[in-house]
Structure 1
């Protein structure tokens, strides 16, 4: 049984999957297996993922979405540690070794995540060659619920954790791919300590976004944040408190950005109603009015 199993959900990822799997296989920590869940791809994802390497297992299923694919992958593996890797991201070769050393040094911590770099797919040969120390960022380690409820610092492709924690918590929710991984990590942070390695160990690929893509009609991030606060409160575990002012600011920013997107480029009525609600509730009315004015300018005087 390998000590670490890396679960990679993949859908129509033939252009990226081989490089992603290779970055997992090229880890300086060798005791690993890669489990690729081919989620009903219509291209050659499964064939490109295998790499003719015995350490890679490809499981094909009908299309079920990211969260169900992650849950399927976890149900198929049995190892001391598990890790996630998205099908188009890249790992630094020292990632697993340094994360496992950190977790071994602190047996009362169950999750380890790392810094990452946003990446647009350009060649980055120097990334794998740069040395890493494995320095722990203490400000984002320990009981991080008060920080994670504000901003999702833990990129899924950066996280390694003990299989025992997965077994005790259950899997990802499968309601919304935009928030399912954040919900899982926040839920984990109420029960388990986290470690963060300060240096970037992941190239997080960002794809060009079509300007014509429909703006979501529901603010899933802020609705999830409100639900998490309802479920876990302002102190989880007790004594580790969320900053109420910071929370209010993050919530306002999230709703303001949602209102701005619709007022400027989407459903004008929804944008106006959301801005009206923010102005009616307060606080930050000055900030809201400024954003509102800029939204109207962007709608009626487009700069393109």
Structure 2
């Protein structure tokens, strides 16, 4: 188990050393330093990853615990593996293709320390569109994501995911109450977890764009691409249907119907946008 730090940074990766190096550098550049990294190699090659890590000095490598999964698994299998292998006060996720502002961890930890009744902190995000060519990264554009987000409620979150995965820092003890991430979901595991989180816990928004979410529209290297939309649509409907059934059983019918209805509304909006873009 990793030596106890206040923050466990979970980094999930698979055969993307170019992006992983950028993500790790982003963590090492944090002004807040009481953190440790659990690096989950999700069924990827071991050699290139070890070569990358050898580029860092020993005092930096000592802050990384690497776990190699023998076979590729769904993302939340990797997440739960990391959580079980750490003993931190706070948890946050930074995927291998994303980055942070150097002040991200400091701002989030300070907010949690000064708000004892708050279970999680979310910052604003910036979406960065980029592409890879000749093993180099090129930025195309950037824009604020959900810049008007001031608070998070169950109803808002049931409409759609309101924040990027890397914008969230939360208290580990919450997991005792709501459980770990669902390992049967190939996508949207973070949103499903967030839904359970907000149902009984409090999340505060820090309106500073400190989380950078990177997207690649196209690339010649498959492993460097983002997850496809069709899979998200399929599992969005699955999660909402399951939640509707759960709410009916728990006599929270209106909450279930609204959550399920938001999914249908999202489908209609996508259909309209697709029609206009033809």
TM-superposition CA deviations, 1:208-227 (whole Å, max 9, x none): 248xx794596221332233
Are the counterparts in 2 of residues 21 and 49 from structure 1 also a CA contact under 8 Å?
no
In 1: Cα distance, 2:193 partner to 2:16 partner: 24
Residue 176 (str. 1) matches residue 191 (str. 2): no
Are the counterparts in 2 of residues 119 and 203 from structure 1 also a CA contact under 8 Å?
yes
Instruction: Specify the alignment match of 1:19 in structure 2.
Output: 22
In 2: Cα distance, 1:291 partner to 1:163 partner: 40
Structure 1 residues 254 and 46: alpha-carbon distance in aligned structure 2, compared to 1, 3 A threshold: farther
In the TM superposition, residue 87 of structure 1 has moved relative to its aligned partner by 0.7
Residue 140 (str. 1) matches residue 151 (str. 2): yes
Instruction: Specify the alignment match of 1:29 in structure 2.
Output: 32
In 2: Cα distance, 1:107 partner to 1:159 partner: 16
Higher relative contact order (CA 8 A, sep 6+): 2
In 2: Cα distance, 1:164 partner to 1:100 partner: 15
In 2: Cα distance, 1:206 partner to 1:32 partner: 26
In the TM superposition, residue 49 of structure 1 has moved relative to its aligned partner by 4.4
SS at match of 2:159: coil
Structure 1 residues 68 and 291: alpha-carbon distance in aligned structure 2, compared to 1, 3 A threshold: closer
In 2: Cα distance, 1:169 partner to 1:24 partner: 28
Are the counterparts in 2 of residues 20 and 87 from structure 1 also a CA contact under 8 Å?
yes
Structure 1 residues 253 and 106: alpha-carbon distance in aligned structure 2, compared to 1, 3 A threshold: same
Note the residue ranges of structure 1 that are not aligned, 5 or more in a row.
128-136, 261-289, 299-304
Q: How does 1:198-217 map to 2 (within 5 A)?
A: 198-209=207-218, 215-216=230-231
Residue 225 (str. 1) matches residue 228 (str. 2): no
TM-score, reference length from structure 1: 0.70
Residues 248-257 or 156-165, more deviating: 248-257
In 2: Cα distance, 1:162 partner to 1:156 partner: 15
> How many residue pairs were aligned?
247
Instruction: Specify the alignment match of 2:225 in structure 1.
Output: none
Q: Which has the higher strand share?
A: 2
In 1: Cα distance, 2:127 partner to 2:111 partner: 24
Note the residue ranges of structure 2 that are not aligned, 5 or more in a row.
131-136, 143-147, 220-227
Are the counterparts in 2 of residues 38 and 46 from structure 1 also a CA contact under 8 Å?
no
TM-superposition CA deviations, 1:166-224 (whole Å, max 9, x none): 233221112222221111110111121001111211111111248xx794596221332
Q: Which of 256, 266, 272 is the aligned partner of 1:253?
A: 266
Instruction: Specify the alignment match of 1:56 in structure 2.
Output: 64
In 2: Cα distance, 1:217 partner to 1:155 partner: 15
Q: CA RMSD in A?
A: 3.4
TM-superposition CA deviations, 1:66-93 (whole Å, max 9, x none): 1100110001000111111111101111
